[in-house]
Amino acid sequence: MTRAPLICPSILASDFAKLGSEVAAIEAAGADWVHVDVMDGHFVPNITIGPDVVKALRKHTSLPFDVHLMVAPVDPWLEAYREAGADILTVHPESGPHLHRTLGRIRQLGAKAGVVFNPGTPLGLLEDVIDLVDLVLIMSVNPGFGGQAFIDASYRKIERARALLDAAGSKAHLQVDGGVTSANAAACVSAGADALVAGTAVFRGGPDAYAANIAALKAV
């Protein structure tokens, strides 16, 4: 029996003029985590959410903040996002010279540590940091923008990550991010994912649609 995945709406697709009510609305609609896409205009070609915005949002929901850092160098920003209220900090191996140290630092700050693999990033290095991670994120698009199409080769990568985690006896979450919809959510879960990020698929239709959109993603 497959268990319903955790749904992590990416607020990148929300109405930025109403962020407080948007996070409250997804909580009421059944979201599990709030996925916060942090982009610096350097590591990825877009600029989004600074720590002060995360801090301001913290009082609008009690859901965990799952902060996906697309920032390089990433190390100088860990503490600020943790202090702003991040529960999970997820980093790209390309965003600093010492991934092992960065992941250790995140746990030292009291947050859960995540590592994220772009479509072109080899999964092999997961083996070297597997004991340091609470979450593995497989990107199913190239990071930088919402609303892109899911890359089908990601299923195989999810399966490979699941096999590595199981072989190591790791309880880390396996999350997928990019182009996730109700049409491919079940296949992601079958491949081994237990957490799905979705921007467009959650926020389309406005607040009245959020509960149905989230339910459709959970219905695997």
Q: Is 157 in the site for Zn ion (CB under 5 A)?
A: no
Q: Total residues contacting Zn ion (rule CB under 5 A)?
A: 3
SS3 category, 205: coil
**Kindly report the CA angle at 61 between 110 and 104, in degrees rounded to 5?**
15
Q: List strand residue ranges (DSSP E) for the chain, in order.
A: 6-9, 34-39, 65-70, 88-91, 112-117, 135-139, 173-177, 195-198
Q: Is 68 in the site for Zn ion (CB under 5 A)?
A: yes
Q: Is 177 in the site for ligand DX5 (CB under 6 A)?
A: yes
**Do residues 200 and 150 touch, judged by C-beta distance below 8 A?**
no
Q: Which is nearer to ligand DX5, 53 or 104 (CB)?
A: 53
Q: Which of residues 88-147 bind ligand DX5 (CB under 6 A)?
A: 141, 143-144, 146-147
Q: Which of 196, 220, 201 is nearest to 32 (CA)?
A: 196
Q: Is 40 in the site for Zn ion (CB under 5 A)?
A: no
SS3 category, 19: helix
Q: Is 32 in the site for Zn ion (CB under 5 A)?
A: no
Q: Which is nearer to ligand DX5, 27 or 169 (CB)?
A: 27
Catalytic residue, chosen from 32, 40, 66, 177, is 177
Beta bridge partners of residue 47, listed in sequence order: 40
Known catalytic residue at 37: yes
Beta bridge partners of residue 114, listed in sequence order: 90, 135
Phi, psi of 34 (to 5 degrees): -100, 120
Site stretch for ligand DX5 (CB under 6 A), options 51-59, 75-83, 158-166, 199-207: 199-207
What's the token pair of residue 40? 């610096």
Q: Which is nearer to Zn ion, 126 or 138 (CB)?
A: 138
Residue 177: CB minimum distance to Zn ion, A: 4
The residues that touch Zn ion, with contacts defined as CB under 5 A, are: 37, 68, 177
Active site residues: 37, 177
**Residue numbers at the binding site for ligand DX5 (CB under 6 A):** 10, 12-13, 35, 37, 68, 141, 143-144, 146-148, 177-180, 197-201
